[in-house]
Amino acid sequence: MSSIAILIWVINVTLDTVGHVALKFAAVSDSKESTELARWKFMLGSFPLWVGIVCFCLEFVVWLAFLSVLSLSQGVLLGAINMVSIVIAGRLVFKEKLDRMRLLGMALITVGVIFVGIYA
């Protein structure tokens, strides 16, 4: 993997993780709104929601750049590391549970991504 590919990959993982955390913040914010429409209106005015939207818009371009320097099969496999980073962020930020099955899944994906990355 070239250094530019690694740099784009790291940016992609960061944007995806921050984007998901931001959307989760927006979704769980206590709006006290009774209807779904009112809840969405409240969320549209929340800062985290827009942080999430900006992250995903940037990720759209970054993913294009990533696929321009790697094959599609290698790209989607390396992109799987996003699942691991999001679970870690969920644990750190929202204190989400980390059971054995989740840890095993994270470990398998990480080792798999390392195998794909080393030979990319």
Partner 1 sequence: MKKLQFYILGFSALMLCDTLTQISFKLASNHGGEFAMQLEWFLSIFSQPWIYGAVLGYLGSFIAWMTLLKHAPVGPAFAASHLEVVLVLIVSAVYFGDRLAPMQIVGALLIVLGIVCLSFSEAEHENDEVH
- Residues at the site binding partner 1, with contacts judged by CB under 8 A: 4, 8, 60-61, 63-69, 71-77, 80, 83, 87, 97, 99, 101-102, 104-116, 118-120
Q: Phi and psi for 48 in degrees, rounded to 5?
A: -60, -35
CA pair distance 57, 90, nearest whole angstrom: 21
Q: Taking a C-beta distance cutoff of 8 angstroms, is the pair 39, 33 a contact?
A: yes
Tell me the closest approach of the beta carbon of residue 119 to partner 1, in angstroms.
4
Closer of 32 and 100 to partner 1 (Cβ): 100
Tell me the closest approach of the beta carbon of residue 30 to partner 1, in angstroms.
18
Tell me the closest approach of the beta carbon of residue 3 to partner 1, in angstroms.
13
Closer of 32 and 97 to partner 1 (Cβ): 97
What value, to the nearest 5°, has the Cα angle with vertex 12 and ends 97 and 1?
A: 110
Closer of 37 and 101 to partner 1 (Cβ): 101
Tell me the closest approach of the beta carbon of residue 97 to partner 1, in angstroms.
6
In the chain the first and final C-alpha atoms are separated, in Å, by 5
CA pair distance 106, 83, nearest whole angstrom: 8
Closer of 47 and 60 to partner 1 (Cβ): 60
Q: Taking a C-beta distance cutoff of 8 angstroms, is the pair 90, 40 a contact?
A: no
